[in-house]
Amino acid sequence: MSETTLAKLLSPHPRVRALRPGGPDPAGACVVYWMQRAQRGLDNPALNMAIAVGNAAGLPVVAAFGLTADYPGAQRRHYRFLVEGLVDAEADLAKRGVPLAVRLGRPADVVPAFAEEVRAAFVVGDENPVRVGMQWRDRVARALRVPFHLVDADVVVPSSLFPKEEFAARTLRPKIHRVLGDYLKPIPAISARHAWPDGKAPRGEAIGVDPLMAKLKVAGAGEVPGYVGGTREALRRLRRFVRERLDRYASDRNEPTPYTTTELSAHLHFGHISPLTIALEVRDSGAPEECVASLVEELIVRRELSINFVARNPNYDRLAGCPAWGLKTLAEHADDPRPVRYTAKQLEAGETHDPLWNASQKEMVLTGRMHNFLRMYWAKKILEWSPDAETAFDVTLDLNDRYEMDGRDPNGYTGVAWAIGGKHDRPWPSRPIFGTVRFMSYESTRRKIDSAAYIARVRDLERG
């Protein structure tokens, strides 16, 4: 065992949090990487730490994934996307000498049992700021008997550097840019050096899309044909973005027809690609400086602002998580007349008087995505058409989480809080229902994009 190397690996680092401190148990037989949020074998600092500890301790490494069929709000479309990613992850992990064992069950139960079974000496996991992820990690830490370290693998700049809830992008942006050069660097793809005795690595379920979907038996919002999960598809989309869209990104990113965005939000949500991979590819592309800067703003500053909100505000998925000024102005306008109201069922079916809103809703149901510019308008209108702000918040979040492929994500929680309660925004001139929360009108929104082309495209989607 290299004591010097281990000491360096286990020294304090902004990206690492020790829930159970210490070095590898001398009586242990392997290092376990609990893969959950960062579902990939490429550009994964949590995987790197597990491999590095295993190499220094002279131990093999195994990755474990707990696949539960009852994640809150997850639908059939989400599960298929996830298991498609597991196929790629297994192949990429194998290239680095790390087998992947998928076990059915809640991760908080699966991981401690797996660690006991394989006689783990050390366990590495990836951070996850959402409530379910935090609860899983705390339960695993209490159940394990060996050291357990978490790595912040799905941000470019470690979240620990921003321990308080940020007020807005303008407060976080300079803090990120001060240290961005320290973290916007390639990370090595190290491989495990120690093989499993007699080649007998721990096993789990056969990793295939149809077999795993058959065992999960999940229902809900149906699968989306052509919307494929996994690292291979994520890298293909990234190459397409750089080749065909990046040089227009700064000027055209708000236009939904055609898309000029990366269309990687779902792959980022499931950890099929690292934001670092995207940022480095864009930085080195030779694209116009304003386009690179615009992508960095969205991918790093805005995305990590959302993660900061979820990590630091326990009410991130409730109206109560919105700023005091937003809650106050909404309360003051709670009794304003609502000239138009729609039920949750009418909204879900896209049955309103607003053709742009209906098209946005139907695009989301049919394709698992909605352009971010329209998602802002979509949520604002739900506030306008609901009996109160709390109902609007709950309906918006429910529809987003069930139908969007990137649902149940910090970006989604933050977007709903921004639209309904003014999170990360400022007061605007007062209007009925909204008070000083920013208002978006049909006329102004439809003029900012080619709304006719967008509505026509969604009608084509409806016709199949």
Please write the tens of the pLDDT for every residue from 322-344. 999 999 999 999 999 999 999 99
What per-residue confidence (pLDDT) applies to 2?
66
Domain boundaries, the chain: 3-154, 155-187+229-312, 319-462
Contact (CB, 8 A) for 125 and 149: yes
DSSP string, 87-121: HHHHHHHHHTT--EEEEES-HHHHHHHHHHHHTEE
The residue with greater pLDDT, 169 or 5, is 169
Mean pLDDT (the chain) is: 97
What per-residue confidence (pLDDT) applies to 198?
83
Using a cut of 0.75, tell me whether the model's pTM lies above it.
yes
Q: Is 239 exposed, middle or buried (0-12, 13-18, 19+ CB in 10 A)?
A: exposed
CATH superfamily of 3-154: HUPs (3.40.50.620)
**Fold of the domain built from segment(s) 319-462:** DNA Cyclobutane Dipyrimidine Photolyase, subunit A; domain 3 (1.10.579)
Strand 120-126 and strand 30-34: pairing? parallel
Question: Is pLDDT at 1 greater than 60 in this prediction?
Answer: no
Closest CA to 12 of 185, 154, 160, 232: 160
Please write the tens of the pLDDT for every residue from 378-392. 999 999 999 999 999
Question: Is pLDDT at 189 greater than 70 in this prediction?
Answer: yes
In 50-60, which positions are buried (b, 16+ CB within 10 angstroms) versus exposed (e)? bbbbbbbbebb
Q: How many CB atoms lie within 10 A of CB 199?
A: 7
Mean pLDDT of 70-86: 97
Distances 17 to 5, 308, 416 between C-alpha atoms, Å: 18, 16, 29
Residue percentage of the chain with pLDDT more than 90: 97
Going by the DSSP 8-state scheme, the letter that residue 432 receives in this structure is T
Residue 5 pLDDT class (50, 70, 90 cuts):
confident
Tally of helices (H runs) and strands (E runs) in the chain: 21, 6
Mean pLDDT of 201-229: 96
Residues pairing with 65 in the sheet: 102
Q: How many CB atoms lie within 10 A of CB 100?
A: 25
Residue 4 pLDDT class (50, 70, 90 cuts):
confident
Q: Could you tell me which CATH number the domain at 155-187+229-312 has?
A: 1.25.40.80
Please write the tens of the pLDDT for every residue from 381-429. 999 999 999 999 999 999 999 999 999 999 999 999 999 999 999 999 9
Question: Is pLDDT at 226 greater than 60 in this prediction?
Answer: yes
Please write the tens of the pLDDT for every residue from 360-370. 999 999 999 99
Q: What dihedral do alpha carbons 391, 395, 401, 407 form, nearest 10°? A: -70
Whether a cis peptide bond, with omega within 30° of 0, leads into 258 is: yes
- Residue that is written with structure tokens 């789990």 in the block: 204
Please write the tens of the pLDDT for every residue from 257-271. 999 999 999 999 999
The residue with greater pLDDT, 232 or 4, is 232
